[in-house]
Structure 1
Amino acid sequence: MSLVLPSELVVERFLPTVRGMLARRLADRGLTQQEIAANLGVTQAAVSKYVSGDPEGDDRFRGDPNTVATADRIAEGLASGDMDGYDALAELLSLVRQLEDRGPICELHEEEMPELRGLGCDLCVRGLDPDVRAERDVLATVRTAARTLASVPGMADFVPNVGTNVGMCLSEPHDETDVAAIPGRIYAIGGRIEIPANPEFGASKHVATAILAATDVDPEVRGATNIATDDAILDAARSLGIDPLEFDADYDDRCAHLRSRFDDRGSVPLVAYHRGAFGIEPATYVFGTTAIDAAELVEELIATASS
């Protein structure tokens, strides 16, 4: 029996194909060969071959709808600046997992190793640690939420002096290490939103505290973000049918205080705020089922407040 790893097929058959597809799409969008080479991590000579020569690779990938859609999405994102190398890599890794799960890579593997045919082989997807996958999904969600906040018109006006953050916890969290957020917080600089790093678990204290209090009362509420307390935002919430909850700022154990206030109300409010205290800047917490839900609600609140 010949031993062929699926990863060999990814490198030898899939990667040249998808690089060629991306090179042609990026060229169609006006990028120079030098820019394309920088984005794909190849030489300019390789890009020239991809763009001007006959398509390389395997036709089953070029004709695969998921591969075509992913190549289109990555090319558009890189060309517009809405996607960086991390995003593109995440898209490609997700695509590879799809193609390995009874997809073209699986078909190629069975051709290279006929002994696998008829076995319903799932070597590539069997045994994936569900905890690792859950963590990866939460990190990806927080990253998308942060980018959502950064794209909200006027968001810079509602970022507190100490910065904002957005986070999400794993299901059944135990402490702050089960909450993913942006290290160093998100800041407004010159009217722009700066996201200093990719999300990590245990990177937040204040937003994590609010999330842990919320999910303890309602396990469905796992995401939150904080913005500056502003009467226009609170009025916008009320106009959207949301009843903001005010709480005290100067409790030593804010998690316990928030949990108590949520218990008193009988639910977790979508918006909770305080007016500050000595040495404590006023803050408003916006909650959601996920971090993306919380970020999208902030977007809606700001748009309503600005209208």
Structure 2
Amino acid sequence: MRLPSEIVVDRFLPTARAMLATELADRGLTQQEIADHLGVTQAAVSKYVGGEVTTEKRFSEEPRMQSAVDRIATGFTEESMDAYEALGELLAVIRAFEDRGPICEIHEEEVPALAGLGCDLCVRGYDESVADERAVLSAVRKATRLLADASVMVGYVPNVGTNVGMALPEPDDELDVAAVPGRVHAMRGRIDVPANPEFGGSEHVARTILAANSVDASVRAALNLSTDEAVLDAARDRGIDPLAFDAGYDDRPERLESAFRERGAVPPVIYHEGAFGIEPITYVFGTDAVAATRLAIELVANAEDGS
């Protein structure tokens, strides 16, 4: 656990001081004058100017930081800005950096549970509504780990890649569905998950989930596999009647929703046989990402056992 204020103290403040010390020295101020402005010792200024203090490039190379340092340095040099106004300049930069900026980026690196939340915790404070987002992201992360650990799945990842998606309760659009940006691919005999899940990270899987969810609100997740007759047979052996649908992308969500309503339910498995330029794909649904992934793994394992 690490607070964003710790990042401000440990990384932002040393970087800001080093940048200001260097800029003020370049403008002809003595080290003691710089120390008086920054509220540090002359020895500390010597280290800042001498490059002996570790700085964070994500702060020092940011235009907003550079502009603030230039304004403060000008104000100090021309005696048109006092410490109160300088603090205001730096606090404005900190607030901007905490709102999906470099402080947010570093915070997510050091607190992985925040990944994909866009620093909502820092910006909005703790909010019960964020709990659903965290639960969905956690479920998708767990599902992708299950997928990556299941070697039996390697041969069933489509050439275009697979994805595991899960929607928030009562989703409105693709931005309410979390999935892996860039999809999951089979590489050198294993499944590679390139990134943590994010909301809006999928298009086709997300639209398929939304179509299913519009008919059955309990269905909130899915993943896609290569269509394979043995897998479809394994589903039938479990009492699942896979639903075939047309491979075309035009109006697919509407066509799927209509097919689900005609069936009277959302079947756990749907598939198409492909078309020109479209790879044959099967979708496996679940109440959450983990349930959908576990069902897919079981179906593939059963198909492999029966082959």
Q: Tell me the distance in 2 between the aligned counterparts of 1:91 and 1:260.
A: 38
User: What residue in structure 2 maps to residue 243 of structure 1?
Assistant: 241
Q: Tell me the distance in 1 between the aligned counterparts of 2:228 and 2:288.
A: 23
Q: How far has the Cα of 1:251 moved from its partner?
A: 4.2
* Residue 255 of structure 1, aligned match among 236, 253, 256: 253
Gaps of 5+ in 1: 1-5, 8-85, 93-126
Gaps of 5+ in 2: 4-107, 115-124
Q: Does the CA-based 8 Å contact 1:251-1:257 persist in structure 2?
A: no
Q: Which amino acid aligns with 1:302?
A: V
CA deviation profile, 1:71-114 (whole Å, cap 9, x unmatched): xxxxxxxxxxxxxxx9995589xxxxxxxxxxxxxxxxxxxxxx
Q: Tell me the distance in 1 between the aligned counterparts of 2:109 and 2:153.
A: 23
1:301 partner SS: helix
* Residue 233 of structure 1, aligned match among 212, 220, 231: 231
Q: How far has the Cα of 1:249 moved from its partner?
A: 0.7
Q: Write the mapping of 1:97-136 to structure 2, written as runs, cut at 5 A.
A: 128-136=126-134
User: What residue in structure 1 maps to residue 179 of structure 2?
Assistant: 181
Q: Write the mapping of 1:157-176 to structure 2, written as runs, cut at 5 A.
A: 157-176=155-174
User: What residue in structure 2 maps to residue 298 of structure 1?
Assistant: 296
Q: Which amino acid aligns with 1:299?
A: I
Q: What is the number of residues matched between the two proteins?
A: 194
The alignment's TM-score, normalised by the length of structure 2, stands at: 0.59
Q: Max radius of gyration: which structure?
A: 2
User: What residue in structure 2 maps to residue 191 of structure 1?
Assistant: 189
* Residue 150 of structure 2, aligned match among 104, 129, 152: 152
Q: How far has the Cα of 1:275 moved from its partner?
A: 0.3
After alignment, is 158-167 or 246-255 more displaced?
246-255
Q: How far has the Cα of 1:153 moved from its partner?
A: 2.7
CA deviation profile, 1:199-231 (whole Å, cap 9, x unmatched): 000010010011000100000000100000000
Q: In the alignment, does 2:200 pair up with 1:202?
A: yes
Q: CA RMSD in A?
A: 2.5
User: What residue in structure 2 maps to residue 281 of structure 1?
Assistant: 279
User: What residue in structure 2 maps to residue 215 of structure 1?
Assistant: 213
Q: In the alignment, does 2:262 pair up with 1:264?
A: yes
The alignment's TM-score, normalised by the length of structure 1, stands at: 0.59
